[in-house]
């Protein structure tokens, strides 16, 4: 049984704040402070260039990948860190299209996070070989999978609504049609059990600054199914993905391992912080985490629906079809969210009218959820959302 | 006049070390320790998601780009940070090829850092439109520029030998032939004066963990000539390069500014460290830096040549044709470098036989150079390079 009081004690949570936005940026693990200091002062400061070997910086992208692997149902040696989720999705899609040269359709849905669609658009434009990005409604994905599809590219859990796709079923359907499946795990990794190997997923990528608490701008990860690794041609063929980077050959020859998906010099300090954050998962059972996340989300929905009739649930009602977040529609959602944040409950807002709340059992408990719903009800009932001070738009909330 | 004793005092330099490898990884600026702590504890820890606005994280890639601009002769609003040098070179080359669709040659040289060649190879393979990566000897570049060339893609200062290309002349020649010029500034930015605007360079990119001392894995920068910015089609069209990222449109529309070259979430902690490192440049005159770098390099060459006849200069003898580093060939260079490092003088080794030494006047002075040459002479004369303990190869030295 996972001890969630113990995991909570491992985070720095600011005084007076209930943090329901770990689905955007996870909070600071206490141990990350000292680990970052060590990386900066003891490794960089004292060892200088020698730290690439002596402090294990060179192997870090693979070592950290191997620590993420069990959280997403991946085998050792199938996950490597680097770059951003956008770049990792691009690598996955480029490799997929090269493995299905005769097919022209990239199938996605309108609930996908825009950057995945944008990166696909950019790749398709570059390739100029008649590929088409076909974007259907999330509920229409299954029916749209046919033998024209090269890549099924989906985000597992919708960033806005928390709606979760059936990864096993859609991947199987894609395979039956001869397509490959690429999954974006941004809102899944660390939020719920994922079984990449069991679902025979072809490629996956995710970020680590949300539920994995790696800090702002922590590197992304990419997963490649073991039997694809040697076939996946890196489109972004950087020197650290070379079979022997320090031979400085003039011609590229990809590594035979997952490291072929490395590109340039990894962000050592950010990755060290992430490595510290991953320690917390050593004692976490993903099934227990999932059960707890559902309990907390259900409690929040119940309390908010009972007290805020002006808000309507924008997430699936069935918890089995939701990730670890819940959204409510409210016409004045932007101002209401700002008013709520001013009162210490941090969620966020997604256009056009969604108030979004994430439930991370590692550091959020029942009392937090009850109190958050209570403060939200106060904001809605009290009309704080009508205060002009909360209406000015900022880039991110 | 730049006060190099004052700049030196701003770095943490380990006891007993003479650091001649700042061309690979610059040392730790003292102020970076506290700035990193603030970013981690006060911003991430206390402000959480709110820091994207409140701590200026969202604008950081452009703000930091504007601080690098004057060091490379670029106008404000033409430089933005993110990703790695490999990715930034890919963006520059992809945009260039799209601007010269009728031309098929990417011209580079054998002295280029391999990752630039590898990324070009990957892009060309993806495009599958008959592009050719033509790689000539560095001295043959000028003669090879003709009207088949779409992109002249060169590293300004050779990573191995320190040989410097004539940026003004080659860019002019490229333009005269109707080509665009892309410069990799990895060994130039912070090493010597660069005049991108004056040379009318089309695209440039560089890393910040060498002479700019941004720390291991600090983000790269990209420069786009102002009149190209709105024409440069982003191949890696990530959401933070969108004109309005937080509208979450399903279709990509590039920002009208240099920010279109942004891709995904920036590495905030690394970029904050870099921002601290850039403060040091406020009082540095690039002409004075260059003069000092030449003095130090000349002194080192003189001393080493006088005392180590077994070593032969692998860098141009004319300092006007060199960057801020000097290489010597020595058959047993690998073991000799390890022996030297064991004695506190840190340079590095590049295949097959080059011992490489960087001279960064911000923290290296005459006494360091004399002492380094003295210790090197001791290693060479004393035969320490013949000790088996130094012969085992490591990934990086």
How sure is the predictor about B391, in pLDDT bands with cuts at 50, 70 and 90? confident
Task: Tell if the CB–CB gap between B44 and A25 is shorter than 8 Å.
Answer: yes
**In whole angstroms, how far apart are CA A20 and each of A275, A349, A356, A365?**
23, 12, 8, 11
Distance to chain B for A46, nearest Cα, Å: 5
Element (H, E) at A74: none
Q: How far apart are CA A330 and CA A312, in angstroms?
A: 7
Of residues B335 and B352, more confidently modeled? B335
Chain A, nearest residue to B34 by Cα? A37
For residues A354 and A160, give the distance between their C-alpha atoms in angstroms, rounded to a whole number: 7
The partner residue sitting opposite A273, judged by closest CB among B123, B269, B346, is: B269
User: How far apart are alpha carbons B231 and A63 in whole angstroms?
Assistant: 41
Handedness of CA A360, A365, A369, A374 (dihedral sign): negative
Query: What pLDDT is stored for residue A397 in this prediction?
Result: 41
CB of A257 within 8 A of CB of A77? yes
**Residue B341 with chain A: CB contacts under 8 Å:** 50
A48–chain B nearest CA distance, Å: 6
Residue B393's pLDDT is 72
Residue given tokens 């996972």 in the structure block: A2
What is the reported pLDDT for A392?
76
Residues of A whose CB is below 8 A from B271 = 217
Residue in A45, A215, A247 closest to B44 by CB: A215
Residue ranges in B145-265 assigned as alpha helix (H):
167-176
Q: What is the pLDDT of residues B216-247, one digit of tens each?
A: 999 999 999 999 999 999 999 999 999 999 88
Task: Please classify residue A50 by burial: count the beta carbons closer than 10 Å to its beta carbon, then call 0-12 exposed, 13-18 middle and 19+ buried.
Answer: buried
In whole angstroms, give the CA distance from residue B230 to residue B223. 13
How many Cβ pairs closer than 8 A exist between chain A and B?
291
Give B218-235 as a 3 state SS string: CCCEEEECHHHCCCCCCC
Whether residue B10 is predicted with pLDDT greater than 50 in this model: the reply is yes
What digits encode the pLDDT tens for the residues A323-371? 999 999 999 999 999 999 999 999 999 888 999 999 999 999 999 999 9
- Which residue does chain B place closest to A341, by CA atoms? B50
**A308 pLDDT more than 90:** yes
Residue B109 backbone class (left: φ over 0; alpha: ψ -120 to 50; beta: rest)? beta
Strand partners, B347: none
pLDDT at B395 over 60: no
What is the model's pLDDT at position B394? 62
Residue A26 DSSP symbol: P
Interchain contact, A126 vs B122, CB within 8 Å = no
Bridge partner list, A180 = A151
Is the previous residue joined to A188 through a cis bond, with omega within 30 degrees of 0? Answer: no
Cβ separation A215–B113 shorter than 8 A: no
Percent of chain B having pLDDT more than 90?
95
How far apart are the C-alpha atoms of A381 and B229, rounded to whole Å?
Answer: 49
Whether B84 sits inside 8 A of A238 (CB atoms) is yes
Beta bridge partners of A328: A313, A355
The whole-number average pLDDT for the span B196-206 is 98
pLDDT in tens, B57-98: 999 999 999 999 999 999 999 999 999 999 999 999 999 999
Judge: A127–B122 Cβ closer than 8 Å, yes or no. no
Q: Which chain B residues touch A268 with a CB distance below 8 Å? A: 215-217
Q: How many helices (H) and strands (E) are present in chain A, helices listed first?
A: 12, 15
**Whether pTM exceeds 0.90:** yes
A5 burial via Cβ count (<10 Å: 0-12, 13-18, 19+): exposed
Task: Look at A79-83, A233-237, A298-302, B245-249 and tell me which has the smallest mean pLDDT.
Answer: B245-249
For residue A27 the two structure tokens come to: 């909070």
Measured in whole angstroms, how far is the alpha carbon of residue A222 from the centre of its chain?
A: 11
pLDDT 10s digits, A23-71 = 999 999 999 999 999 999 999 999 999 999 999 999 999 999 999 999 9
Q: Do B121 and A90 touch (CB under 8 A)?
A: no
Q: In Å, how far is A224's CA from the nearest CA of chain B?
A: 19
Judging by beta carbons within 10 Å of its beta carbon (0-12, 13-18, 19+), is residue B48 exposed, middle or buried? buried
Which chain A positions have a beta carbon within 8 Å of B49's beta carbon?
Answer: 21, 24-25, 346, 348, 396-397
Per-residue model confidence (pLDDT) at position B397: 42
- The verdict on a CB contact (< 8 Å) between A87 and B246 is no
Contact present, A251 and B124 (Cβ < 8 Å): no
pLDDT at A395: 52
Query: CB of A65 within 8 A of CB of A221?
Result: yes
User: Which positions of A are catalytic?
Assistant: 113, 184, 209-210, 356
Nearest to A203 by CA among A137, A258, A275, A148: A258
Q: Answer yes or no: is pLDDT of A396 > 60.
A: no
Which of A122, A346, A353, A394 to substitute to test the interface with B, most B CBs within 10 Å? A122
The H or E element containing residue B348 is: strand B348-350
> What is the bridge-based pairing of β-strands B325-329 and B312-313?
antiparallel
Q: Chain B: residue nearest A128 by CA?
A: B127
Instruction: For residue B322, give the DSSP letter.
Output: B
Burial class (CB in 10 A: 0-12, 13-18, 19+), B154: buried
Per-residue pLDDT, B57: 98
How far apart, in whole angstroms, are the C-alpha atoms of residue A276 and residue A39?
11
Of A32, A110, A216, the CB nearest to B250: A110
**Would you say residue B1 has pLDDT above 90?**
no
How far off is chain B from A99, nearest CA to CA, in Å?
12
Q: Evaluate if residue B271 carries a pLDDT over 90.
A: yes
Could you tell me which chain A residue has the CA closest to the CA of B84?
A: A264
The answer to whether residues B269 and A217 touch, using CB atoms and an 8 Å cutoff, is yes
pLDDT of residue B46 exceeding 80, the answer is yes
pLDDT at A301 over 80: yes
Chain A positions in Cβ-Cβ contact with residue B37 (cut-off 8 Å): 33, 36-37
The minimum CA-CA distance between B152 and chain A, rounded to whole Å, is 17
- Residue A205 CA to residue A133 CA, distance in Å, equals 19
Residues near B387 by Cβ (< 8 Å), separated by ≥ 6?
Answer: B335, B339
The partner residue sitting opposite B114, judged by closest CB among A27, A160, A239, is: A239
Provide the greatest CA pair distance for chain A. Answer: 68
Is the bond into A9 cis (omega within 30 degrees of 0)?
A: no
ipTM passes above 0.90 = yes
Give the one of B44, B86, B94 whose C-beta lies nearest to A264's C-beta. B86
Q: Are A247 and B28 an interchain contact pair (Cβ–Cβ within 8 Å)?
A: no
Q: How far is B351 from chain A (nearest CA, A)?
A: 7
Contacts of A279 (CB under 8 A, 6+ apart): A29, A31
Q: Give residue-wise pLDDT tens across range A133-143.
A: 999 999 999 99
Task: Identify which of A86, A218, A236 has the shortest CB distance to residue B239.
Answer: A86
Which residue, among A209, A203, A238, A365, has the nearest Cα to B123 in the 3D structure?
A: A238
Chain A residues within an 8 Å CB radius of B45: 12, 14, 27-28, 33
**Which candidate in A20, A267, A338 is best for mutational testing of the B interface (most B CBs within 10 A)?**
A267
Annotated active-site positions of B, please?
Answer: 113, 184, 209-210, 356
Whether residue B25 and residue A41 make contact (CB cut-off 8 A), yes or no, is no
Query: Taking CA atoms, what residue in B is nearest to A351?
Result: B247
**Considering only CA atoms, which of A245, A225, A292 is closest in space to residue A78?**
A225
CB–CB of A237 and B118 under 8 A?
A: yes
DSSP element (H, E) containing A64: helix A60-68
Nearest residue of A to residue B18, measured between CA atoms: A48
Q: Among B58, B128, B396, whose Cβ lies nearest the Cβ of A246?
A: B396
Contacts of A78 (CB under 8 A, 6+ apart): A65, A69, A196, A223, A224, A225, A226, A229, A258
pLDDT of residue B122: 96
- pLDDT tens by residue, B171-195: 999 999 999 999 999 999 999 999 9
% of chain B exceeding 70 in pLDDT: 99
How much of chain A exceeds pLDDT 90, in percent? 95
Give the pLDDT confidence score for residue B351 in this predicted structure: 84
Summary mean pLDDT of chain B: 96
What integer is the mean pLDDT of B267-292? 97
- Helical H segments across B49-193, by residue range: 51-54, 60-68, 85-99, 114-127, 141-144, 167-176
Chosen for mutation from A247, A265, A272 (greatest number of chain B CBs closer than 10 Å) is A265
Question: Which residues of chain A lie closer than 8 angstroms to B117, CB-CB?
Answer: 250-252
Q: Does residue B285 surpass a pLDDT of 80? A: yes
Domains of chain B: 4-29+285-390 (3.90.1150.10), 58-282 (3.40.640.10)
Compute CA distances B26 → B180, B216, B274, B359, whole Å.
31, 8, 11, 11
For A123, the closest chain B residue by CA position comes to B235
- Assign B274 a pLDDT band (cuts: 50, 70, 90): very high
pLDDT reported for residue A393: 72
Count CA within 13 A, CB hemisphere, residue B394.
Answer: 20
Measured in degrees and rounded to the nearest 5, phi and psi for residue B201 equal -60, 140
Residues of B in contact with A242 (CB under 8 A): 114, 118
**Is the CB of A265 less than 8 angstroms away from the CB of B207?**
yes
Report whether pLDDT(A394) > 70.
Answer: no
**Is B206 strand, coil or helix?**
strand
From the list B118, B264, B394, which residue is nearest A87 (CB)?
B264
Q: Determine the 3-state secondary structure of A19 from DSSP.
A: strand
CA distances from B124 to A50, A91, A126 (A): 35, 15, 10
Identify the residue whose tokens are 């944040």: A341
In which element (H, E) is residue A54 found?
helix A51-54
């Amino acid at each position: 049984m996972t001890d969630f009081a113990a995991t909570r004690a491992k985070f720095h949570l600011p005084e007076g704040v209930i943090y329901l936005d770990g689905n955007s940026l996870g909070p600071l693990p206490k141990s990350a402070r000292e680990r970052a200091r060590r990386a900066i002062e003891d490794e960089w400061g004292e060892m200088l260039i020698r730290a690439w070997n002596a402090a294990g910086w060179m192997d870090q992208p693979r070592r950290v990948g191997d620590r993420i692997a069990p959280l997403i149902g991946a085998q050792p040696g199938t996950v490597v860190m680097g770059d951003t989720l956008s770049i990792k999705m691009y690598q996955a899609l480029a490799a997929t299209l090269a493995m299905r040269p005769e097919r022209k359709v990239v199938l996605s849905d309108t609930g996908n996070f825009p950057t995945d669609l944008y990166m696909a658009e950019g790749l398709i434009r570059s390739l100029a070989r008649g590929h088409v990005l076909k974007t259907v409604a999330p509920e229409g994905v299954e029916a749209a999978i046919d033998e024209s599809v090269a890549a099924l590219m989906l985000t597992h859990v919708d960033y806005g609504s928390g709606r979760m796709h059936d990864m096993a079923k859609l991947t199987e359907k894609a395979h039956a049609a001869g397509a490959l499946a690429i999954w974006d795990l941004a809102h899944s990794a660390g939020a719920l059990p994922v079984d990449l190997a069991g679902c025979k997923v072809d490629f996956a990528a995710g970020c680590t600054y949300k539920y994995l608490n790696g800090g702002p701008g922590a590197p992304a990860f990419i997963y490649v199914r073991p039997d694809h690794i040697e076939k996946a041609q890196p489109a972004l063929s950087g020197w650290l993905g070379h079979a022997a980077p320090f031979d400085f050959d003039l011609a590229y020859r990809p590594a035979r391992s997952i490291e072929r998906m490395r590109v340039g010099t990894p962000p050592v300090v950010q990755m060290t912080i992430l490595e510290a954050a991953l320690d917390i998962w050593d004692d976490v059972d993903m099934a227990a985490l999932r059960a707890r996340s559902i309990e907390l989300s259900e409690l929040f929905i119940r309390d908010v629906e009972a007290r805020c009739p002006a808000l309507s649930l924008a997430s699936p009602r069935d918890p089995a079809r939701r990730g670890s977040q819940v959204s409510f529609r409210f016409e004045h959602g932007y101002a209401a969210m700002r008013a709520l944040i001013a009162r210490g409950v941090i969620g966020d807002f997604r256009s056009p009218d969604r108030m979004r709340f994430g439930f991370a059992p590692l550091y959020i408990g029942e009392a937090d959820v009850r109190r958050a719903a209570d403060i939200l009800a106060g904001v809605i009932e009290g009309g704080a959302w009508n205060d002009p001070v909360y209406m000015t738009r900022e880039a991110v909330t």
